Structure 1
Amino acid sequence: MNTFKICTDLELFDAFKTGDNLAFEQIYNRYWNSLLSEAYRLTGSKALSKDLVQDIFVAIYQKAARIEIKYSFKAYLFQTLRYKIINARRDYLIHDHCHQDIYYRSISENVFPSPLETKELHQHVRSAVAELPKKCKQVFLLSREEQYSHKAISRQLNISTSTVEKHIVKALKILKVKLNYQQIRC
């Protein structure tokens, strides 16, 4: 074990890659505290810092054979930590945004429309679909009511799949405009 203290990081990592678990333990002991301190400085959370640093060492242990380090093992570790922190922040922001969105939607919207509102909406949709251009309406109904795939519609109507997509996009745009207009009038 004392021979590891004079080994470079790359020598230790190479020894670990050949199966020497004591070399990994030495790497872990060399860098755990400094990575943890840096993670805490950047995140302000002890629990998150421990998780991130632990994740780094687990990944190194599991993927050592695929990791190629040419210059500095220390730089590799700290760069990996920075990426982990960036990803954790992104995940937190996405998670937080979703929770806020769900919360604000639940307090600002009536999630369960009344049967009368549902019936009115269906009538508005049917009337808007009836006003679509003939081919556009045909493609839209096959897609939405008959659940046909774009390929199946293109085969049945003898048109390209891109034409099918264009008809559906056109129908959705028309319906969006018509239904928004009808909602304002109601």
Structure 2
Amino acid sequence: MNTIHFFSDIELFEKFKGGDKTAFEQIYKRYWSCLLNEAYRLTDAQALSKDLVQDIFVSLYQKADKIDIKFSFKAYLYQTLRYKVINSKRDALIHQHCHQDIYHRSSRENVFSNQLETKELNNHLYVAINGLPKKCKQVFLLSREGDYSHKAISKELHISTSTVEKHIVKALKILRLKLNYKEMLA
């Protein structure tokens, strides 16, 4: 029978600090499920609870030589768990707040910038359309804003449908040149 089961927690921890790996295994077996239950009670999240308890044991394993427990090993573990839960909740709140802040900022900025871009583009379009030759402008506006067909425009203005098509092609060519994005920025 292994006598390691009869050591106190602090004795086990000191044995582990001295290099006895089975002492650490015993500490792990003694406290894993208790800490996991407490973590779950505090967080109500199973995966998070497992992560927090695992972090405690990893930290305990890696930093054992820097840890000095005078009174209660159990109290040390539970206090460490409470700090980890508090830090986890704080981190989650910060993370959530940052995501909400970024989302709200980007949605406000996008709406605002899209509104400005649309307004600016409409202004440029208005100026460009007003700069079209008179008949070309008239045909283009009937086609686009009046939603007239080429045939209806030819009847309305007493011109041939091929002339209507030529005016629309000419208008689109002029507008493309005038509304070139690089030129709008200049």
Structure 2 match to 1:63: 63
**For residue 73 of structure 1, what is the aligned residue in structure 2?**
73
Give SS of 2:96's match. helix
Q: Which residue of 2 aligns with 1:96?
A: 96
Q: Aligned to 1:19, what secondary structure does the other structure show?
A: coil
The number of equivalent residue pairs is 117
Give the C-alpha shift of residue 109 in structure 1: 2.2
In 1, distance between residues paired with 2:59 and 2:12?
16
- Alpha-carbon deviation of 1:105? 1.4
Deviations 1:43-86 (A, max 9, x none): 00000000000000000000000000000000000000000000
Match of 1:18 in 2: 18
Cα distance between partner residues in 1 of 2:107 and 2:60: 45
Q: CA deviation at 1:104?
A: 1.2
- Counterparts of 1:4-153 in structure 2, within 5 Å, are 4-110=4-110, 112=113, 114=117
What is the TM-score of this pair, normalised by structure 1? 0.59
Q: Distance in 2 between matches of 1:106 and 1:96?
A: 15
> 2:76 is aligned with what amino acid?
Y
After superposition, give the CA deviation of every residue in 1:2-34 in whole Å (9 maximum; x if it has no partner).
Answer: 211110000000000000000000000000000
SS of aligned partner of 2:63: helix
- Bigger Cα Rg: 2
Match of 1:163 in 2: none
Partner of 1:109, secondary structure, is helix
RMSD (Å) for aligned C-alpha atoms: 2.0
TM-score by length of 2: 0.59
